[in-house]
C-alpha cells in the first residue's frame, strides 16, 4: 500500500467496510492505533504505524490480504440464507414448502461458493453450505448440522460487513 492510510485505505486493506473501521476508531476498539495526524478530511496514519496492526487484524479475522467486494457479498448472502433456513427449521409448526424453498435458495449458492478462491472465507462458506449439499439428507440431520455452524455464521457476518 502507500505511505499514508486513511479510514478508506485501512478498510480496503482489510477488505471490510469504511463504516466498520470508522466505528472501531471511534470506539477505540480492536487495538486500533491512534492516528498520526488529523486533517479536515479525517484521520491519517503513517504506514509504519498502522501496517503492523492491519496484519494482526487480518490474522485474527482470518483475512488474507483483504477480500473482494464479490466475496463479501457472497459471504453475507450465504449467512442470510443459512440463518433464514435455521429460523424456519426452528418454528414450532414446520412449513415444509418454505423450508424446501429456503434450502434450495441456499443450495443455489453452492457452485459460486465452490468457485471461491481457496482462502479462509471460501473454506468457511463451503463449511456453511455442506449440510444442504445433498437434497435427500434428513431434515433433522441438516438442522443439527446448521445449528452447529451458527458460530461460524455469526463470526463471518460480523467480520465481513457489506
User: What pLDDT score does 49 carry?
Assistant: 94
User: What pLDDT score does 162 carry?
Assistant: 44
Candidate CATH numbers 1.10.1660.10, 1.10.3720.10, 3.40.50.12280, 3.20.20.70; the one for domain 4-61: 1.10.1660.10
H or E segment to which residue 39 belongs: strand 37-39
pLDDT in tens, 116-150: 755 667 777 888 888 888 888 877 788 888 888 88
Q: Which of the two residues, 56 and 2, has the higher pLDDT score? A: 56
| pLDDT band of 161, cuts 50, 70, 90 | very low
pLDDT in tens, 34-91: 999 999 999 999 999 999 998 888 777 665 555 555 677 788 888 889 999 999 988 8
What is the Cα–Cα distance from 124 to 64, expressed in whole angstroms? 13
User: What pLDDT score does 47 carry?
Assistant: 92
- Sheet containing 42-46: which strands, arranged edge to edge? 4-5, 42-46, 37-39
Contacting residues for 112 by C-beta, under 8 A, at least 6 apart: 74
Task: Tell which phi-psi region holds residue 73, choosing left (phi > 0), alpha (psi between -120 and 50) or beta.
Answer: alpha
Domain ranges of the chain: 4-61, 69-159
Are 28 and 71 a contacting pair, CB within 8 Å?
no
Amino acid at each position: 500500500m502507500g505511505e499514508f492510510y486513511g479510514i478508506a485505505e485501512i478498510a480496503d486493506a482489510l477488505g471490510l467496510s469504511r463504516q466498520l473501521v470508522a466505528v472501531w476508531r471511534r470506539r477505540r476498539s480492536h487495538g486500533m492505533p491512534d492516528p498520526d495526524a488529523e486533517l479536515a478530511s479525517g484521520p491519517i496514519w503513517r504506514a509504519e504505524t498502522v501496517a503492523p496492526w492491519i496484519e494482526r487484524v487480518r490474522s485474527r479475522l482470518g483475512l488474507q490480504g483483504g477480500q473482494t467486494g464479490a466475496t463479501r457479498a457472497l459471504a453475507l448472502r450465504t449467512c442470510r440464507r443459512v440463518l433464514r433456513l435455521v429460523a424456519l427449521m426452528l418454528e414450532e409448526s414446520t412449513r415444509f414448502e418454505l423450508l424446501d424453498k429456503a434450502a434450495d435458495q441456499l443450495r443455489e449458492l453452492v457452485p459460486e461458493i465452490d468457485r471461491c478462491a481457496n482462502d479462509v472465507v471460501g473454506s468457511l462458506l463451503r463449511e456453511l453450505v455442506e449440510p444442504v449439499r445433498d437434497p435427500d439428507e434428513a431434515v433433522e440431520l441438516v438442522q443439527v448440522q446448521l445449528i452447529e455452524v451458527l458460530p461460524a455464521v455469526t463470526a463471518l457476518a460480523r467480520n465481513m460487513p457489506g
